[in-house]
Amino acid sequence: MAENKPAAVENAYASSHVNPYGRVDEEVAMVAEKDGRRKKRMKCFMYVAAFVVFQAGIILIFALTVMKVKTPKFRVQSASFGTFDVTTLNTNPSFDINMIAELGVKNTNFGRYKYQNSTIEFYYENIKVGEASIPNARAKARSTRKFNVTVNLSSAEVPREVLERQFAASTVISLSSQSILRGKVEIMKIMKKNKSTNMNCTMEINTSSRQLGNLSCR
Ligand SMILES: *[C@@H]1O[C@H](CO)[C@@H](O)[C@H](O)[C@H]1NC(C)=O
Ligand SMILES: *[C@@H]1O[C@H](CO)[C@@H](O)[C@H](O)[C@H]1NC(C)=O
Ligand SMILES: *[C@@H]1O[C@H](CO)[C@@H](O)[C@H](O)[C@H]1NC(C)=O
Ligand SMILES: *[C@@H]1O[C@H](CO)[C@@H](O)[C@H](O)[C@H]1NC(C)=O
Ligand SMILES: *[C@@H]1O[C@H](CO)[C@@H](O)[C@H](O)[C@H]1NC(C)=O
Ligand SMILES: *[C@@H]1O[C@H](CO)[C@@H](O)[C@H](O)[C@H]1NC(C)=O
Ligand SMILES: *[C@@H]1O[C@H](CO)[C@@H](O)[C@H](O)[C@H]1NC(C)=O
């Protein structure tokens, strides 16, 4: 048994020497095998690379859409009126209007927007004629949160000349509203970003129809 092994080795040695073509065949086979393995590795690498590129693309698209934090929009949506005392006569021009304004916080983010207490101010000819407080709340992901605020619009602070001049030209009361909401957008509980949004709207109260019109927000 012990003598068999060296004999087999010698045999193999001898046969490869005896037949030189066998050795060439072996070498060719080895090179072919190496080549095949390299090709396989290359293919595998290509698959991994393609997957990485694909994954990076998905992440990029995700980052540019879902994770992108957009500024919510805050605007006056509509209004209705309670007490409506308006005198357009130039003997004693004045207005005292109770307005119920519907405000909207439009949140287009894929996460909720939590905002803090704030105030909204209404101006007539750059003079503040009313304000209301805005309670803190949250606007759900991809939705508009609507709520009402009640404000008393009073011409008490407006100089008489200004009212006379305005009412002589038109019986429409032109107002602007301003507000800032401060809060944060939370996307999937992992991303939180402070975002504040400004309201800057103009509107007109038609004193004969008692309706709000020409509402436009920047
Ligand atoms: C928000 O307003 C409420 C009541 O109006 C008040 O109690 C609270 O302290 C305010 N919070 C902040 C952060 O201003
Ligand atoms: C706001 O008030 C108006 C009527 O005054 C009502 O029709 C509307 O539903 C209210 N909006 C909200 C969000 O409560
Ligand atoms: C508006 O005015 C009415 C009466 O003048 C008063 O009862 C009400 O509390 C006022 N509302 C606000 C929000 O100031
Ligand atoms: C976000 O706002 C909160 C409260 O307004 C503040 O405490 C915090 O420092 C702000 N964070 C950043 C990153 O600005
Ligand atoms: C509001 O918008 C008007 C133009 O529409 C602009 O002149 C004004 O400066 C804006 N105000 C604020 C506080 O952004
Ligand atoms: C106010 O409303 C009345 C009735 O709807 C309408 O006839 C009038 O043209 C309006 N005024 C303005 C300035 O839009
Ligand atoms: C809106 O504004 C235009 C021009 O400023 C005016 O002609 C129109 O009557 C206004 N409409 C309302 C409903 O106030």
Nearest Cα neighbor of 131 from 73, 199, 68 is 199
Q: Beta-carbon neighbour count of residue 72 at 10 Å?
A: 22
Q: How far is the CA of 59 from the centre of ligand 7 (A)?
A: 48
Per-residue confidence (pLDDT) for residue 208, from 0 to 100:
92
Name the closest ligand to CA 104. Answer: 2
Check pLDDT > 70 for residue 18: no
- Whether 174 is in the pocket of ligand 6, judged by its Cβ within 6 Å, is no
Nearest residue (by CA) to ligand 1, atom 1, is 117
Mean pLDDT rounded to a whole number for the chain:
88
* Contact call for residues 141 and 72 (beta carbons, < 8 A): no
Nearest Cα neighbor of 68 from 198, 196, 195 is 195
Q: How far apart are CA 203 and CA 212, in angstroms?
A: 7
Question: Residue 87, CB half-sphere, CA atoms under 13 Å: how many?
Answer: 9
Query: What type of residue sits at position 36?
Result: G
The residues, any chain, with a CB within 8 Å of residue 148's CB and separated by 6 or more, are: 100, 101, 102, 103
Q: pLDDT digits over 70-118, tens only?
A: 999 999 999 999 999 999 887 889 999 999 999 999 999 999 999 999 9
pTM (two decimals) = 0.78
- Tokens 């095949």 sit at which residue? 36
Per-residue confidence (pLDDT) for residue 115, from 0 to 100:
97
Quote the DSSP letter at residue 176. Answer: E
Q: Which ranges in 78-125 belong to alpha helices (H)?
A: none
Q: How far is the CA of 46 from the centre of ligand 2 (A)?
A: 60
Q: How far is the CA of 154 from the centre of ligand 3 (A)?
A: 10
- Tokens 């407006």 sit at which residue? 158
- Tokens 């060439």 sit at which residue? 24
Per-residue confidence (pLDDT) for residue 17, from 0 to 100:
53
Q: pLDDT digits over 140-177, tens only?
A: 999 999 999 999 999 999 999 999 999 989 989 999 99
Ligand 7: nearest atom to the Cα of 172:
14
Q: How far apart are CA 35 and CA 44, in angstroms?
A: 14
Confidence class of residue 178 from pLDDT cuts 50, 70 and 90? very high
Per-residue confidence (pLDDT) for residue 2, from 0 to 100:
46
Per-residue confidence (pLDDT) for residue 8, from 0 to 100:
47
Domain 73-217 has CATH 1.20.1460: no
φ/ψ of 67, rounded to 5, equals -85, -10
Name the closest ligand to CA 191. Answer: 4
| CA distances, 21 to each of 9, 15, 29 (Å) | 19, 10, 12
Per-residue confidence (pLDDT) for residue 30, from 0 to 100:
84
Name the closest ligand to CA 205. Answer: 7
Query: What type of residue sits at position 163?
Result: L
- Whether 172 is in the pocket of ligand 6, judged by its Cβ within 6 Å, is yes
Higher pLDDT, 2 or 148: 148
Q: How far is the CA of 204 from the centre of ligand 4 (A)?
A: 36
Higher pLDDT, 207 or 30: 207
Pocket test for ligand 4, best of 194, 195, 196 (most atoms within 8 A of CB): 194
Q: How far apart are CA 15 and CA 8, in angstroms?
A: 10
The residues, any chain, with a CB within 8 Å of residue 28's CB and separated by 6 or more, are: none
- Tokens 């004969």 sit at which residue? 208
Pocket test for ligand 7, best of 202, 205, 214, 216 (most atoms within 8 A of CB): 214
